A = this chain, B = another copy of it.
Amino acid sequence: MSTLWKSRYAQRTLGIKSSAIRELLKVTQNPEIISFGGGLPAPDVFPVKRFEEACHKVLTEQGAQALQYGATEGYGPLREMIARNIARYGILAKAENVLITSGSQQALDLIGKLLINRGDRVLVEAPTYLGALQAFNVYGAQYVSVPVDNDGLITEQLESCIRSGVKFMYVLPNFQNPAGVTLSEGRRHQLIVLADKYGIPIVEDDPYGKLRYEGEHIPPLVVLDRQNLRSDNGFTLGNVIYLSTFSKTLAPGIRLAWIVAPEDVISKLVQLKQAADLHTSTFNQYVAYEVSRDGFLDRHVKLIRQVYRERRDVMLQALHEYFPHEVTWTHPQGGLFLWITLPEGSDSSELLPAALAENVAFVPGDSFYPNQLGANHGQEGGRHMRLNFSYCQPEQIREGIRRLSVAVKMQLRSAHAVQ
C-alpha cells in the first residue's frame, strides 16, 4: 500500500525540496546555539498585553461573530483599516482592493496558482526569498534571475531578461530578504517603465517596508506604477500586485497578511482562496483589528524600529571588529537581514558545520538562488551567508558574530593552505 502512495504522487514531489532553513531550525532548537538562521521577529517585542486586551474585548463584545465563518475577502473593518494605512504611503486603494490572506506565504501561493502554468518563466532577483521559490515551484515555474547589488535589482540587465519571455516579475524592493538591500528610486522607475513597455506584471513583496532604520522612504512600485499610468481612474488599472503582512509588525503566529491589487485581480484571487481555505481565521482578524486600532500599530512599529536598529548596529559593529578584511557585508537600511560575501572560492555550506561546532548558525547563500537551466548559482551562492539580526538579544549577537568569525577565519586559513 505504501508503494501505492509513492507511485501516485511521485511526480508531484519534483521541484519541492525540503527547505534548508527548515532543517536548520531543527538543529537550532539546541539552546546553546546562537541562531542567525531563521527570519524570526524578536518575541520580546510581541505586544502580548495588548493582544490579551483585544481577545477579551472581541470575545466579550463580538464572540459569536468572531468565532463564526467569515467572508473569503476578509473582515471588512480590517480591510478598510489597511486601505487607510497604506494610503499614507500613496497607495490609493479601497477596501475592495484588499484581500486578507493566511500569511504572505498564502499570497504567494495564490499568485502562483493564478499566474503560473507549468514551464512559465518567472523573473526573480538573485538572491531572492526562498518561500517565494517554494510557492512558485509547486506550479512548475522556471526562473530567470537578475543579480542585485547595493541598490537592489540591477535594472541594466533587466530588458534582455524580460525579452527572453517572462510571465511576471517577483521583486522585494525594501531591505530585501536575504540580501538586505533596497531598490533605489531611479531603478524603481526603470523597472516600472520596462514592465509597462513589455506588459509584464510585477509582484511587489513588501513585508519589511515599515521597518526602516535610516535613510528616506522610497515610494513603492505600486505607487510609481500608477503615476506612470497618469490615470486618476481609481485603483482599477495597474500592473503591480502589492503584498504586505502583520507578521513583522504585530506577530507572525496570527498568520495575517494582505494583497492589494485591481478589483478584477482580487476577485479571481478570492475564488482561488475560497477553494484553498474558505477564509482566513475570523477570530484573528477581529483581534488584529482591535490590537492595531487607535494608533497602536504606529506606536508599536516605532518601538520595533528602535529595538531592531540597535541590533543591526550591534551586528555591524561586531562584524567590523571580528571579521577578517577579505569578508564584506551589506549595510541594510531596514528589515531583518544582512548578507555576507566571502572571498571567491569560499563555500558557505561547508562553513555551516564548522559554525555549528562553534554553536552559531546562519543560512548558506545557495538556498536563495533558484534552480535555473543553464546557470550555476552554486558558486555564487557559496560565497554568501544570510544573517538575521532581529531575533537575538544584542549581547548574543556580539557573541554569535565572534563565534562565527572563528569558523570563518578557520575556513579562510585552510583555503589559503590549499592554494
Contacts and interface: CB of A to CB of B under 8 A. Distances in A.
A254 interface: yes
Contact of A9 (B56, B236, B252, B268): B268
A109 B275 contact: yes
A364 to B, nearest CB: 19
Contacts of A275: 16, 105, 109, 131, 134-135, 137-138
Nearest to A9: B114
Contacts of A22: 72, 274
A105 B276 contact: yes
A367 interface: no
* Interface size class, chain A: 35 or more
A44 B67 CA distance: 11
Contacts of A254: 67, 281-283
B55 A68 contact: no
A416 interface: no
Interface centre among A11, A134, A247, A262 (most CB of B within 10 A): A134
A309 B333 CA distance: 61
B70 A9 contact: no
Interface stretch (A45-53, A203-211, A337-345, A392-400): A45-53
A65 B2 CA distance: 36
Contacts of A199: 4
A268 B4 contact: no
B272 A16 contact: yes
Interface in A66-81: 66-70, 72
A235 to B, nearest CB: 11
Contacts of A236: 2
A69 B39 CA distance: 9
Interface in A54-109: 55-56, 59-60, 63-70, 72, 102-103, 105-106, 109
Given A52-B59, A106-B276, A255-B280, A268 B38 contact: no
Interface in A201-260: 201, 229, 236-239, 247, 251-255
Contact of A1 (B115, B237, B251): B237
Contacts of A43: 64-65, 67-68
B138 A113 contact: yes
A209 to B, nearest CB: 20
Contacts of A5: 201, 262, 264-265
Given A56-B55, A113-B138, A255-B277, A264 B2 contact: yes
B105 A102 contact: no
B59 A264 contact: no
A13 interface: yes
A11 B114 CA distance: 9
A19 interface: yes
Given A43-B68, A48-B67, 6 more contacts: A12-B114, A22-B274, A56-B56, A69-B253, A102-B255, A255-B281
23 contacts: A1-B229, A2-B236, A2-B237, A9-B115, A12-B114, A13-B268, A19-B274, A43-B65, A44-B64, A46-B68, A48-B59, A51-B59, A52-B56, A67-B252, A68-B251, A69-B247, A102-B102, A102-B255, A103-B277, A105-B276, A137-B275, A251-B283, A281-B284
